Amino acid sequence: MSTAQAIRSERRPDTRGEIVRTARRLLLSHSYLGLNFQELADRIGIRKASLYHHFPSKLAVGQAVIDDSAQRFQRWSDTIDHLPAAQQLQAYVQMLRDALAAGGMVCPIGATAGEWDGLEPELQDTVKRFHLQQLAWLEARAARLPKPSSPQPGSATMSPRQWAAHFNATCQGALLNARLHG
């Protein structure tokens, strides 16, 4: 290894991680189809060709971003697992608000949903897995919520699965609305 390579290696011990973190910010603010390799390389301070040393394609970067987001969600959820279900759900909303800069970005699932038909099937599968992970987490919390003792007349009681889907859709809509209106 040359001296120049050793210096670069010391400066960038985790280039792959830096690519994923920067690509995540771009995906959340520009969407997957708006994720541009040249802009990604420029923001990191490497050549575009160097991205291909770590990832063979844009698809691989996209999958790494979604997988990283799923891992981050799992780590986050593990930290609040001791809380009552209602507090975990409040923490979920707060996490979305804080992590996504209250309208500055959308979540990785929302960032890909609007361009779904333009995504590679492999990326669609990765996004679906992450979405199902969140829905399962929400459903488990919904199952632990107290049931209303007397539902209002004419209102249907939702199953935990239905409640989770409804809650998730409400949060996604709120993120999009915050993105539009700040």
Q: What is the tens place of the pLDDT at every residue in 42-94? A: 999 999 999 999 999 999 999 999 999 999 999 999 999 999 999 999 999 99
Taking residue 149's Cβ as centre, other Cβ atoms within 10 Å add up to 5
pLDDT for 9 equals 45
pLDDT for 85 equals 97
DSSP SS3 for 99: helix
CA dist., res. 88 & res. 138, Å (int): 9
Domains of the chain: 11-146+157-181 (1.10.357.10)
For residue 156, give the DSSP letter. P
DSSP SS3 for 18: helix
pLDDT for 157 equals 80
pLDDT for 153 equals 66
pLDDT for 131 equals 97
pLDDT for 147 equals 77
pLDDT for 7 equals 45
Contacts of 135 (CB under 8 A, 6+ apart): 161, 164, 165, 168
Residue ranges of the chain with per-residue pLDDT less than 70: 1-13, 102-104, 148-156, 182
Say how far residue 31 (Cα) sits from the centre of its chain: 11
Say how far residue 17 (Cα) sits from the centre of its chain: 16
